[in-house]
Amino acid sequence: MGDGGGVSRLRGTEVDVQFGALEAGNFPAVMVGALETWPAISRWNPENGGLKHLKHLAGDTHIQAITSKSGSVFYGHIKGHDRVSLKFGSFIDLILSESKMEKAVASEMLPQSAAKRSSNEDVHSLEFTKRECATTTDGLADSRKAHEMELYLAQVPIYSKEQEGETMLSPLMQDIELPSVLEGKDVWNINLWMSMKSSRSSTHYDPYHNILCVVAGEKKVSLWPPSAAPYLYPLPIHGEASNHSGVDMVVPNYNMHPLFKKAVQGAKVVTLRAGDALFIPEGWYHQVNNTGVTIAVNFWWPSKISLLLGSPMDGYILRRVISSLLDREKKRILEDGIDLCTDRRGAHVTDSTCHSSKNTIKVIENLAEQHCTQDLKDEGPRRYRNYNVGKQQAKVEDLTDEETFHLRTLVTSALGEMKTSPGADTKSAREQKVGGQSFQIEVDRNEGQANKQQRPVEFQDDPLCRVFANLEALSLQRVLLVMATQFPRSLRVLIMDALSPAAAELLTMKFEELDSYLEVPLQAKFYEQFYSVFESPEAVMAILLERKEAFAAQALQNVLSQFLGLSCGTAGA
């Protein structure tokens, strides 16, 4: 694994001369002073007013930052952080306010009273900006005190080959240049990375070649080749963060991860200062420490991985091949399932129990009055922080006939789940009468929560899958907003108890599609209302992640069986 050194340091013309061989051989290298011609080196320098320049370029742009659940340690997987929506200018203001406050308190040139007054003013400004951030966090930061919030800009797009038109921070392109070694290459992404103070990232690898360019501040990067994967304990390949190490880098558990000691001893550690760049080859694990306020830009482009077959990259390549097959299998399952659901769409919408929109609306409204109003009385309005706002904006009568029908399916499914849950009313859930109308609730009393997570992927027998498959993303958004307003308890039961792995995969797929349609402020408003009916948004996200990974595990079992003839009880390749 190496002795902690061995990373080439190139200067001047050495970069252009040697880079081709380094890229072909998959070797990392530091390019010292490679950014000296970038306007950003002087224009973005925090010591020379660079933050105000950045705010001038893109201050009104809405971006997403992450806030860590582990202090100044930012983990890339979804369980380790929350996302925060705010303006780029607001993020800059946070840094400026904290910097002014620290300087005022530390300065010996100011009289004590003046320093205290200046400090108090900056604290007020800082807290105002953090409160602003806390109101746009998709409901995820409400439970935290604003003054405890620490944000990090990670992978905010400056340029994306896949995105038409401008990205979030396109105006920043005017201050940066394409490194000479990338001329003629197919660059896919250019991203901004920015920390407020000293912080650490988790250990992970990227599926692209990467040039990390430090514009301001300092970064210390630990590197490991793909062959070091056994010492870094990568997370299961069917998970959402399979490119991340499962080791706690702050307090490693050597009883659980004994080989990690070798990884610590064998790490190649480099220090990057403003103007330096680091080539991180595809598949190389890296962990980054930021010193103070740091600003960096990175470039991603695809490698010719076929050239590396038969090398120490084998373990990494195997994971990439299986990951690719897994993605294809998940897509196949979803497409086949959606076809099964949508083939029966006409029969659903013309069902005799839903013969008119007016009749269905009456049934839904009676359900809301008899079921959810009592729910609000029992549990109090404090759980529903945006109840009144949501009620004004989401009404049953505004839905189309198809949306109303699917709303009814979701509500009746929730009622069926409540009747079969432990401690629920013993009255039969097979048939309910609401407003004089009879309708059937299809439930299986013998199917418990554990079975629900492990059952085969059968879309046509899952009412939630049928709903998510048939509704377009924007239609599903309207239905969910109505549920958050008039059926909060039903929405909680659906997500926390009734959601199968396949349904979770379909739902989050619709969320991703919705995110591509909506601007950041509208995204934030929707998720704020959606999560308002839950006591713990983090628990909801954990449930969704758990079910998605259960779906991926089922798909992985199909891949292992089809291509390798393996039958495994657990699939954690």
Which tens digit of pLDDT belongs to each residue from 470-508?
Answer: 899 999 999 999 989 888 888 999 999 889 999 999 999
pTM assigned to the model:
0.63
Nearest CA to 505 out of 344, 327, 342 is that of 327
pLDDT score recorded for residue 27? 93
pLDDT score recorded for residue 69? 59
Q: pLDDT category, 4, cuts 50, 70, 90?
A: very low
Region 70-79: mean pLDDT is 60
Distance of CA 394 to the CA centre of its chain: 26
pLDDT at 363 over 70: no
pLDDT score recorded for residue 300? 95
Q: pLDDT category, 333, cuts 50, 70, 90?
A: confident
Which tens digit of pLDDT belongs to each residue from 444-479?
Answer: 333 344 344 444 456 667 889 889 988 999 999 999
Average pLDDT, the chain: 76
Q: Angle CA(530)–CA(512)–CA(497) in degrees, nearest 5?
A: 50
415 by Cβ neighbours in 10 Å (0-12 / 13-18 / 19+) ranks as buried
* Structure tokens belonging to residue 444: 């299986």
Which tens digit of pLDDT belongs to each residue from 538-560?
Answer: 889 889 999 999 899 888 888 88
* Residue 204 vs residues 176, 235, 245, 324, 327: alpha-carbon distances, Å: 26, 10, 6, 18, 20
Which tens digit of pLDDT belongs to each residue from 116-164?
Answer: 444 444 444 444 444 545 444 333 333 333 345 578 898 999 999 888 7
Nearest CA to 493 out of 434, 391, 410 is that of 410
**Lowest model confidence (mean pLDDT) among 171-185, 256-270, 304-318:** 304-318
Region 60-65: mean pLDDT is 90
pLDDT at 73 over 50: yes
Q: Angle CA(313)–CA(318)–CA(319) in degrees, nearest 5?
A: 100
pLDDT at 525 over 80: yes
pLDDT score recorded for residue 113? 46
**Residue 111: other Cβ atoms inside 10 A:** 9
Tell me the longest C-alpha to C-alpha distance in the chain.
84
* Structure tokens belonging to residue 140: 């995820």
* Structure tokens belonging to residue 447: 């199917």
Nearest CA to 330 out of 461, 241, 239 is that of 239
pLDDT score recorded for residue 566? 65
pLDDT score recorded for residue 515? 87
Nearest CA to 62 out of 522, 448, 413 is that of 522
pLDDT score recorded for residue 346? 43
- Cβ 140 vs Cβ 83: under 8 Å: yes
Percentage of residues in the chain with pLDDT exceeding 70?
68
Q: pLDDT category, 348, cuts 50, 70, 90?
A: very low
**Residue 295: other Cβ atoms inside 10 A:** 23
pLDDT score recorded for residue 384? 35
Helix (H, G, I), strand (E, B) or coil at 419: helix
pLDDT score recorded for residue 538? 86
pLDDT score recorded for residue 537? 86
pLDDT score recorded for residue 536? 85
Which tens digit of pLDDT belongs to each residue from 94-116?
Answer: 998 877 656 555 555 445 444 44
Q: Which residues is 29 bridged to in the sheet?
A: 8, 279
Q: pLDDT category, 516, cuts 50, 70, 90?
A: confident
Mean pLDDT comparison of 353-357, 395-399, 438-442, highest-scoring range: 395-399
Domains of the chain from N-terminus onward: 8-302 (2.60.120.650), 328-564 (no CATH)
Cα distance between residue 135 and residue 127, in whole Å: 12
Cα distance between residue 463 and residue 503, in whole Å: 9
**Lowest model confidence (mean pLDDT) among 310-314, 377-381, 396-400, 529-533:** 377-381
pLDDT score recorded for residue 104? 55
Q: pLDDT category, 61, cuts 50, 70, 90?
A: very high
pLDDT score recorded for residue 140? 35
pLDDT score recorded for residue 134? 46
pLDDT score recorded for residue 360? 53
Q: pLDDT category, 85, cuts 50, 70, 90?
A: confident
